[in-house]
């Protein structure tokens, strides 16, 4: 890809614009002043002034690309990428504490969760400001406080109900942090009158306060990068990293970052993404749930891209299996780790049969990933760490499988675009509606990660639910029983599933629930003609309106 396509010839807002104001439109709490210091805010403001215009430009390019996809264009590998795609090169070597990542646990930046995840026995804990965190100001800032305390090993927690106390073990997981995506803003913080990029705010505040402390403790500032759609967006992160390290007088490559391949467009630019971040790269991850959502979103106008029930879209099928194998091949060719996807199952405490079935499904999923060559995998619950670890210990006897180059793997553009076959049922429709309402309700209350129907749901899985209902409506999908998915059917199912949620909640808790508001938002998202890019954008506006 020619460099001229990676950035505009001139910024819309010059990075050399005069320094203006930094304004925080939110209440302070004890501990926030330690983080929101003049020096830290100046660092974040500098990042925004230097790179915010490029972020906005790249978001405009996303809109232009989507218009071409809506008109029928299909993604393809870019033959003009030259060196990045066709020549032999590798990323910089991995730090010692990132060479074995066989089990990674993820979760929100909530205090108790951080302690339990770091103590879980996983090699890595990814602390998440993005899909599993509803970005109220208190959630974002408490998360920064919690991570600062965890790094300095001063973090403790006492449960207000049980009285149980939590503290860190002597040995804990390596910490990685996922900031929010390029598409999001932190509207509680204005730089020169404009909301700051949520990604730059999350990254900047964490990096400024913790990079040196992490290095002093034998680790480093490690990140997961979400929602990247191609090479240009990876290059922007790389330039942010270079500048941030220079500001703190740290050498290039101190930062390491794993990119989540959770966009169908990014799957066609894996080599290029690794190349742009090669000094800072810690490989790629198969963000499977957002990837399914991306497939629906990007091909929303294509009736041939109709997916079956969400439960039938598994990693051994069509485009998902192809992208998993391509990620492994690409990463290993470049000397980088390829981390597998999330096991969303959680323990089923009151049903031993269902619990055994869930654990068996997790075990089969992790066996497939390990045999495909992945160097590690994700789980959402501490109880699944030993399950995943047993599989990788058995099938991966070395710290990783980067040495397995997968020369025999051949993945074509057609493979990446192959639509899986499977049933489309009323049960699948109802599951999407129930999950969508249930998750949005929790999100509006400030909870970004919630167990629903024996699965751990976050924004990515909720996105699949509402996107699939929109897709089926848009194209009048036929269910297996011959009925057409139309407005009347979906409206009836929404009413019935809302009533079911109200029944589950009970009259006492109903006064504090937001299920009716969640159902209205879900209806808005699935019935509107224009597809909403992310449900978290209108949902975030509701958080702001509520003063959160």
Q: What is the DSSP string of 428-492?
A: HHHHHHHHHHHHHHHHHTT---EEETTEEE-HHHHHHHHHHHHHHHHTTPBPTTS-B--HHHHHH
Kindly report the average pLDDT of the chain as a whole number.
93
pLDDT, residue 344, reads 81
pLDDT, residue 338, reads 98
Q: Which CATH number fits domain 45-417: 3.40.50.150, 3.30.1540.10, 3.20.20.360, 3.30.1050.10?
A: 3.20.20.360
Q: Which helix (H) or strand (E) holds 387?
A: helix 385-395
pLDDT, residue 9, reads 34
The ranges assigned to domains in the chain are: 45-417, 426-546
Average pLDDT of the segment spanning 228-248: 98
Catalytic residue among 178, 180, 288, 325: 178
User: pLDDT for 134-181, tens place per residue?
Assistant: 999 999 999 999 999 999 999 999 998 899 999 999 999 999 999 999
pLDDT, residue 20, reads 66
Residue 508 confidence class, pLDDT cut points 50, 70, 90: low
pLDDT at 537 over 80: yes
* Spatial distance between the Cα atoms of 310 and 386, rounded to a whole number of angstroms: 27
pLDDT, residue 229, reads 98
Catalytic residue among 131, 149, 271, 458: 458
Q: Residues near 507 by Cβ (< 8 Å), separated by ≥ 6?
A: none
Cβ atoms < 10 Å from Cβ of 74: 14
* Tokens 């963000």 sit on residue: 287
pTM: 0.94
Q: What percent of the chain has pLDDT over 90?
A: 86
pLDDT at 541 over 70: yes
pLDDT, residue 343, reads 83
pLDDT, residue 304, reads 96
User: pLDDT for 56-73, tens place per residue?
Assistant: 999 999 999 999 999 999
Average pLDDT of the segment spanning 287-301: 95
pLDDT, residue 7, reads 41
pLDDT at 395 over 70: yes
**CATH number given to 426-546:** 1.20.1220.12
Average pLDDT of the segment spanning 111-135: 97
pLDDT, residue 212, reads 98
156-158 and 455-457 as β-strands: parallel, antiparallel, unpaired? Answer: unpaired
Catalytic annotation present for 178: yes
User: pLDDT for 424-479, tens place per residue?
Assistant: 999 999 999 999 999 999 999 999 999 998 888 999 999 999 999 999 999 999 99
Tokens of 257: 């970052």
List phi, psi (to 5°) of 264. Answer: -60, -30
pLDDT, residue 154, reads 98
Catalytic annotation present for 458: yes
pLDDT, residue 39, reads 97
Exposure of 310 by Cβ count < 10 A (0-12 exposed, 13-18 middle, 19+ buried)? buried
């Amino acid at each position: 890809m020619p460099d001229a396509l990676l950035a505009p010839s001139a910024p819309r807002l010059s990075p050399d614009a005069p320094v203006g104001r930094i304004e925080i439109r939110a209440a302070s709490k004890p501990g926030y002043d330690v983080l929101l210091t003049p020096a830290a805010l100046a660092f974040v403001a500098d990042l925004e002034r230097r790179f915010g215009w490029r972020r906005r430009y790249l978001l405009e390019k996303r809109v232009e690309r989507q218009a071409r996809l809506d008109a029928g264009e299909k993604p393809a590998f870019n033959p003009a990428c030259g060196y990045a795609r066709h020549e032999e090169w590798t990323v910089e070597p991995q730090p010692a504490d990132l060479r074995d990542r066989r089990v990674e646990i993820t979760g929100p930046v909530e205090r108790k969760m951080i302690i339990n995840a770091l103590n879980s026995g996983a090699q890595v804990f990814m602390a998440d400001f993005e899909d599993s965190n509803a970005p109220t100001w208190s959630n974002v800032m408490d998360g920064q406080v919690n991570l600062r305390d965890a790094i300095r090993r001063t973090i403790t927690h006492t449960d207000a109900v049980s009285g149980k106390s939590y503290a860190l073990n002597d040995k804990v997981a390596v910490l990685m942090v996922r900031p929010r995506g390029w598409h999001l803003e932190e509207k509680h913080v204005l730089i020169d009158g404009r909301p700051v990029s949520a990604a730059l705010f999350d990254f900047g505040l964490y990096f400024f306060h913790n990079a040196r402390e992490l290095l002093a403790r034998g680790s480093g500032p490690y990140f997961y990068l979400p929602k990247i759609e191609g090479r240009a967006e990876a290059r922007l992160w790389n330039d942010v990293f270079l500048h941030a390290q220079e500001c703190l007088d740290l050498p290039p490559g101190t930062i390491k970052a794993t990119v989540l391949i959770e966009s169908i467009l990014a799957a066609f630019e894996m080599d290029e993404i690794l190349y742009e971040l090669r000094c800072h790269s810690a490989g790629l991850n198969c963000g499977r749930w957002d990837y399914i959502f991306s497939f629906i979103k990007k091909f929303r106008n294509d009736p041939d891209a109709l997916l079956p029930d969400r439960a039938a879209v598994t990693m051994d099928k069509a485009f998902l299996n192809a992208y998993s194998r391509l990620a492994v091949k690409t990463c290993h060719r470049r000397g980088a780790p390829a981390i597998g996807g999330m096991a969303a199952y959680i323990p089923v405490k009151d049903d031993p049969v269902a619990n055994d079935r869930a654990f068996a499904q997790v075990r089969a999923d992790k066996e497939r990933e390990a045999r495909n060559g992945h160097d590690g995998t994700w789980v959402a619950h501490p109880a699944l760490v030993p399950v995943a670890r047993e599989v990788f210990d058995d099938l991966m006897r070395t710290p990783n499988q980067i040495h397995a180059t997968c020369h025999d793997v051949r993945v074509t553009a057609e493979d990446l675009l192959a639509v899986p076959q499977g049933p489309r049922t009323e049960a699948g429709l109802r599951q999407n509606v129930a999950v969508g309402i249930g998750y949005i309700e929790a999100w509006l209350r400030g909870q970004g990660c919630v167990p629903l129907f024996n699965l751990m749901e976050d924004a990515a899985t909720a996105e699949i639910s509402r996107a699939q209902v929109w897709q089926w409506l848009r194209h009048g999908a036929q269910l297996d029983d011959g009925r057409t998915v139309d407005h009347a059917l979906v409206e009836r199912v929404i009413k019935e599933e809302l009533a079911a949620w109200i029944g589950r909640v009970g009259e006492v808790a109903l006064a504090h629930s937001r299920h009716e508001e969640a159902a209205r938002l879900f209806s808005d998202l699935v019935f509107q003609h224009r597809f909403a890019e992310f449900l978290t954008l209108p949902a975030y506006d509701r958080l702001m309106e509520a003063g959160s």
